[in-house]
Chain A
Amino acid sequence: MSRRYFDLKSRPVDADQKRLGRRTVLKGATALAGVAVGSGAITGFPTIWAQNIKSVTLRQFGTGVSAYNDIAVKAKQDLGFTVELSALDSDAVVQRAVTQPKSYDVVDAEYWMLPKVVPSGNLQPMDTKKIKLFDKIVPIFTKGELGGGKKIATQGTAPIKVSYVTGKDSKTFSKTPTQWFNLVPTIYNADTLGIRPDLVSEPITQWKQLLDPKYKGKASILNISSIGIMDAAMVCESLGEIKYGDKGNMTKAELDKTMKVLTDAKKSGQFRAFWKTFDESINLMASGEVVIQSMWSPAVAAVRAKGIPCTYVPLKEGYRAWAGGLGLSRALSGLALDAAYEYVNWYLAGWAGGFLNRQGYYSAVLDTAKQNMSADEWGFWMEGKAAQGDIKDPFGKVMEKAGSKRDGGSFEERMGAVACWNAVMDENRYMVQKWNEFVAA
C-alpha cells in the first residue's frame, strides 16, 4: 500500500516501449543481418540495431544539478533514442530510488545517497568491461586517489567507499575495486565559502571566520541538513572547539556539540538568513545582505555575472566535496539496458564533459572533455591559468573577463585540498532532529 502511495510516476508494463529481450533482438537481428549480408548490404546489421534502439526512451531523474535539457537533446541527436529528464530535490531522489525502481531507468544520484539506495537492491551495478573509457575515469572514483598516487580525503561518504559492490547481484560495498561499479560520475566539485571582497576587508583564510563577530548579522549558512552539517563541522574544527573522529560520521555527542556552536551563533545574531535554494544564496550575496556564506560554485559565478564582486575563497582547512553520477535501475534489461550503457558511454565521450566543465563543474573523463573545450577554456577552468579572452558559459554568456583566474586554482589544487565529502551519517535521524531544533531555536 505504502509503496504505491509514493509512486508518483508508476507505469504498468511498457508495452509501447518494445522492451524486447536481448535474445529476441539478437536472434531477429542476426537473421536479418544474414539476409543483408547475403544481399551484399554490409551495413544491414547496425541499421536494424539503430532502428530498434530508437524506440527506447530512458527515464532519468535526479537532483537537477546536471539535468540540462541540452544534454538530453544532444544525446538524442547522437544516439537516436530519447532521454527524459526530471529533477527532484535530494530527499525525494533518495525516496524514489529506493521505493520505485520501476519508475526510472537511470538515476542521477549523489554519492552520499548510495548507502541508502544500494542496500535496497534497486540499483544495478554496471559491468566495468562495458564502459569503454572506464580506465580514463578520474581515479578519485575508481581508485580513491587524485592521480599520480596522491590520496584524497575519505571523511564523509567519499566516492571510493561506495563505488564498487562485491558482485553483480550484491548489495554490499567492496573496499577494493571489482568489476561492478555503482555510479558513473557526471559532475563533482569542491565547495567553500563565498565572500564579497568589496565588503570584507581582511583576507578570509579559515572556515572559522564564518562565525567571526565582525560579520555579525552578515553571515549565512545553508538550511539543507546533510550539507549544512558538514559546513558546520568544518567551522567547529577550525575554531578548535571539537576534534572529530570522522566528521562525515559523527557520534551523537559530536552532533550535540556542533549544533550547540551553531545555535549559540544564531542566538547572538550572527546569521542574517538561512538559504535553501540556489537562487536565495545568489540574492543574499548580490544584495549585500550577506557578505560571507557557504556557497556553491555556479552561484558564485552567477553573482559575478551580475557585475558584483564575489570570491570563492580557498581555505586552510580545505574544501567540502560532493559528487554525482549515473546509476542504472535494477529493473532495466534487454535493449533498454544496452541503450543505457550506450548513454553512459556517450556521457563519458567528451561532449557532455566539455559542456559541464565550461560551467565550473568537473567531469568524469578529463581527456575527452579537454577535446571539447578550447585551450583557453581548459587553461582557465582546469589549470588555474589566467584567461586569454572572455570566458563564456555553454550558452554564450560571459562568465569571466579576460585576465581573470579561477578562485582556488587548478583541478589538482582544488580537489587536492578536499577535507571531507557530503555525507549521510549513521545517526542521520538524530541529526535531522537536531537540525530542526536549531532552526526553531
Chain B
Amino acid sequence: MVRAWLQAAPLALVVAAFLVVPIATLAVVSVWDYTEYDLIPDFVLTNYADVFGSWVTYATYASTVRFAALTWLVTLAIGFWIAYFLAFHVRSKTWQMVLFLVCTIPFLTSNVIRSISWIPVLGRNGLVNSALLHLRVIDQPLEFLLFSDFSTVLSYVHLYALFMVVPIFNTMMRIDRALIEAAVDAGASGWQVVRDVVIPLSKPGIAIGSIFVVTLVMGDFSTVRLMSGGQSASVGLMISNQLAYLQYPAAAANAMVLLAVVLAIVAGMMRVVDIRKEL
C-alpha cells in the first residue's frame, strides 16, 4: 500500500507543482481588484462581470470557435485520409516509417516561422498570385489569400494537421486486418469497409486528434495575429492584450473562462467517444 503511494508520489508532485498550483493561483488572482498599476488582493466579481458583460467577449469567442471548427473539419479530412493511406495502402513497414517521418518535417521549424513563411507565398505580389497572373487565370491579384480568415485557417491546418495524422494512424495500425478481410468476404464494398469498419475502429484516434487540434486553436494568439494582419481577435490575443496593459486579474478571469469552455468541449468529445474503453 505504502509502496503504491510512493510510486504515485513523483507524478502527483509534478502535477501539483505545475498544474494545480498555477491554476489555483489563476483562480485566486481572477477575483482580485486592480488599478492601472496595482494588484489589490480582494474578492470582487467585477472581472467576471466585465468578461460576461461585454459583447467583445462573445464576438471573440464566436470567432475563435469558428476558427477551431473550420480547422478541425479540414485537419480531420486531411488527417484521416493521410493516415488511411499510410496504414492500408503502403504495404512495406519501412516505407510507412519513411513517409510518416516526411509528415513530421514541417515540425522541425518553429510555429512562428511556419506562419510567416506563408506571407511571401500568399501576398498580393506573392508566388500564388504571380503564378496565376502569368498563367492568365486571373487578371487581378486575389486579395483574400493573405490577411484573411482563409490565410488564418490555412496556417492552422498547416501547423496542426500532424496532430490529427499521428493518433489516427496509430489506431488504424491496431485494427485487425482479419476484420477487413471478413467484411470483404461478406460482400462489403470498399466504401462500406471504410464506413462500417475503419471509421468506427479509428474513433479513439479521431477523438484524441480532435482534442489536440481544438485546444491548440482555442489557445492560440500568435498565428491569428500574424495571419489576419492583426484584424481578427482571438481569446488568446485578448488575454495577451490584457497582460500588456498589466490587467492581470482581468486576464486571469478570461483565462478561467477559456479553461472552462475548452474543458466543456473536451468533455463533450469524451462523451461521444469513450477513449479509454476503445483504446
Contacts and interface: CB of A to CB of B under 8 A. Distances in A.
Q: Do A and B bind each other?
A: yes
Interface of A: 1-3, 5-6, 89, 91, 95, 98-99, 116, 217, 220, 223, 266, 271-276, 283, 287-289, 429, 432, 436-437, 439-441
A275 B125 contact: no
B231 A266 contact: yes
Given A99-B37, A271-B231, A273-B230, A437 B56 contact: yes
A6 B56 contact: no
A55 to B, nearest CB: 33
A440 B233 contact: yes
**What 3 pairs across the A-B complex have the smallest Cβ distances?**
A273-B229, A274-B230, A2-B39
Contacts of B41: 1-2
A440 B125 contact: no
18 contacts: A2-B40, A2-B41, A3-B38, A6-B37, A89-B244, A95-B37, A99-B38, A272-B229, A287-B119, A287-B125, A288-B123, A289-B124, A436-B238, A436-B241, A439-B231, A439-B233, A440-B60, A440-B233
Contact of B56 (A274, A276, A289, A440): A440
Nearest to B60: A440
Contacts of A3: 38
A119 to B, nearest CB: 12
A217 B38 CA distance: 40
User: Which of the listed residues A116, A273, A437, A441 has the most CB atoms from chain B within 10 Å of its own CB?
Assistant: A273
Contacts, number: 68
Given A271-B231, A440-B59, A287 B38 contact: no
A2 B55 CA distance: 30
Contact of B147 (A223, A272, A436): A272
Interface string B28-59: 00000000111111000000000000011001
Interface in B223-279: 228-231, 233, 238, 241, 244-246
B231 A274 contact: yes
A99 B35 CA distance: 12
B60 A91 contact: no
B146 interface: yes
B181 interface: no
A224 to B, nearest CB: 10
A410 B39 CA distance: 48
B143 interface: yes
Contacts of A429: 36
Given A2-B38, A98-B37, A289-B123, A436 B230 contact: no
A91 B229 CA distance: 22
B38 A273 contact: no
Given A288-B125, A440-B56, A441-B59, A5 B39 contact: yes
Contacts of B241: 436
B65 to A, nearest CB: 14
B235 to A, nearest CB: 10
Contacts of B39: 1-2, 5
B178 to A, nearest CB: 54
Contact of B246 (A95, A116, A439, A440): A95
A44 to B, nearest CB: 48
A217 B125 contact: no
A283 B229 CA distance: 12
A217 B231 contact: no
A283 B228 CA distance: 15
User: Which of the listed residues B39, B59, B119, B230 has the most CB atoms from chain A within 10 Å of its own CB?
Assistant: B230
A429 B143 CA distance: 35
B229 A274 contact: yes
Nearest to B227: A273
Contacts of B60: 440
